Amino acid sequence: MKRFFRALFHDDLKEHVLAFKEDFVTSILIWGRYVRDTWPLLVLLVLLVLGAVWVADPSPPKKIVMASGTPGGSYEALALEYQAYLKNYDIEVEILPSAGPMENLQLLNGQLPT
């Protein structure tokens, strides 16, 4: 009886392994055929995505306008430090002096002085 169960389990295991191998090979062949048949569409999709990225230009801005508060103040010193640091990354920082917090708030709301 012991020999019967061992043989049954052993044969069953072989069948499972062979079936898994067959399924795996079939899946690879199906994917290979799919890629072979649709490669022009895949290439077109990649080119469209690259074109959209190139046209959209999602890179960060190369120019920043920064309000610095009153001339000679600590915010102006901080703005000058930012300007020097960002110059290393080819980013231009335009320092815009302001009269104080209320003008800074107007600048943040998009009401730039003329």
pLDDT in tens, 46-86: 999 999 988 887 777 889 888 888 888 888 889 999 999 99
The answer on 68 and 19 residing in a single domain is no
What whole-number distance in Å separates Cα of residue 95 and Cα of residue 66?
A: 5
Please check whether residue 104 is in contact with residue 98, taking contact to mean a CB–CB distance below 8 angstroms. yes
Closest by alpha carbon to 60, among 102, 29, 90? 90
What whole-number distance in Å separates Cα of residue 61 and Cα of residue 94?
A: 12
Threshold 0.75, pTM exceeds: no
Other C-beta atoms lying within 10 Å of the C-beta of residue 16: 10
The answer on 72 and 51 residing in a single domain is no
The answer on 67 and 15 residing in a single domain is no
The answer on 75 and 47 residing in a single domain is no
The answer on 1 and 53 residing in a single domain is yes
Residue 94 lies in a domain: yes
Please check whether residue 39 is in contact with residue 69, taking contact to mean a CB–CB distance below 8 angstroms. no
pLDDT of residue 93: 92
Residue 78 structural domain: 63-108
Radius of gyration of the chain (CA): 33
